[in-house]
Amino acid sequence: MHVIRAEGLIKKYGGTTALDGVDLEVPVGKVIGILGPNGAGKTTTVRILATLLRPDGGRAEVGGHDVVRDPVRVRGLIGLTGQYASVDEGLSGTENLVLLGRLLNLSKRQARARAAELLERFALTEAAGRPIATFSGGMRRRLDLAASLVGRPRILFLDEPTTGLDPRTRNELWGVVRELVADGTTVLLTTQYLEEADQLADRITVIDRGKVTAEGRPGELKRRIGGQILHVRPTLRGDLDAVARVLAELTGTTPARDENIGLLSAPADDPMLVSALVRRLEQAGIPADELGLRLPSLDEVFLALTATTERNAA
């Protein structure tokens, strides 16, 4: 059963088309990642699904309710966190969460209890009474997330939840998202970070310039751009050129060079190439620190997918 379903969503701002027919399906209890560069249409998609924006074409259902015809029902089911749906800077953490609880028709006492529970869960109890202006980036993001959970939503929209956070804080937030999913919450997450989608999402939809350019499980997407990657890191930088020549000979393509870490990589369709490479390096007496086959990273997938779109568009 799909809890979020969008068909052919179109949104235009004046002359520019922000969304040009986006389709989306999210099964219950899963995490879907919407991946794309800045301006791809990720936020527009979320705003339409969260009833903040009316689409100019297409239709979308959240929890079985049409977002245009029955927005109030949809709003009762969702939680939203993003740079735009945030908390009130003029109030403390507790005051913010109590306010939201009261707006969701909790009594004063219930709203206070719910606020305390969420602050505890997000390790914000100590800072609960402080002005939000004094919060660190990570605390602020945790409070934003807590604010979207006051009504215990079954469907959660996270619009770029970790943009601008340091890696440690980002990992913390990922942990929270995993817990929510373990509790059965369906999550739609937008991100510019391929790693984030790879870490959290069951399925990924890649969008670029308002169009879906790819869809699938992270593994499928990686495989879709073809084969595996043969990579090798010679122990001595001086051997880079020699190894590059060997790789080119074996794979028939010019290998990619990462000069910073002294790594060479090239697409490899034939797994036997690994042993061939080992033999050639042995004969030449070139030692290597790292050598193997791997699936391409999502960065490589993403670049390949968007590059394809550009070529088709041109």
Chain residues in the site for another protein (CB under 8 A): 50-54, 72, 75-76, 78, 80, 82-91, 95, 99-100, 102-105, 147-148, 151
DSSP code for 298: H
To another protein, the closest distance from the beta carbon of 145 in angstroms equals: 12
Q: Which is nearer to another protein, 73 or 178 (CB)?
A: 73
The helix (run of H) or strand (run of E) holding residue 187 is strand 186-191
Nearest to 10 by CA among 215, 209, 306, 214: 209
To another protein, the closest distance from the beta carbon of 42 in angstroms equals: 16
C-alpha 158 chain-centroid distance: 9
To another protein, the closest distance from the beta carbon of 112 in angstroms equals: 14
Q: What is the DSSP string of 7-40?
A: EEEEEEETTEEEEEEEEEEEETT-EEEEE--TTS
* Residues 219-230 as b or e (16 or more Cβ within 10 Å = b): eebbeebeebbb
To another protein, the closest distance from the beta carbon of 212 in angstroms equals: 22
Q: Which is nearer to another protein, 140 or 222 (CB)?
A: 140
How many whole angstroms separate alpha carbon 281 and alpha carbon 73? Answer: 65
| CA angle (165, 169, 171) in 5-degree steps | 110
Q: Which is nearer to another protein, 72 or 182 (CB)?
A: 72
Q: Which is nearer to another protein, 70 or 300 (CB)?
A: 70
To another protein, the closest distance from the beta carbon of 2 in angstroms equals: 21
To another protein, the closest distance from the beta carbon of 204 in angstroms equals: 24
To another protein, the closest distance from the beta carbon of 68 in angstroms equals: 10
To another protein, the closest distance from the beta carbon of 257 in angstroms equals: 44
C-alpha 295 chain-centroid distance: 19
* Under 8 Å between Cβ of 221 and 298: yes
Place of tokens 């945790």: 142
Q: Which is nearer to another protein, 102 or 112 (CB)?
A: 102
Q: Which is nearer to another protein, 104 or 293 (CB)?
A: 104
Helix, strand, coil % over all residues of the chain, rounded to 5: 40, 30, 30
Per-residue CA distances from 234 to 181, 259, 263, 285, 287 (Å): 42, 12, 7, 11, 6
Nearest to 35 by CA among 182, 170, 183, 217: 217
Q: Which is nearer to another protein, 81 or 228 (CB)?
A: 81
| CA dihedral over 200, 211, 82, 1, signed as positive or negative | negative
Q: Which is nearer to another protein, 150 or 197 (CB)?
A: 150
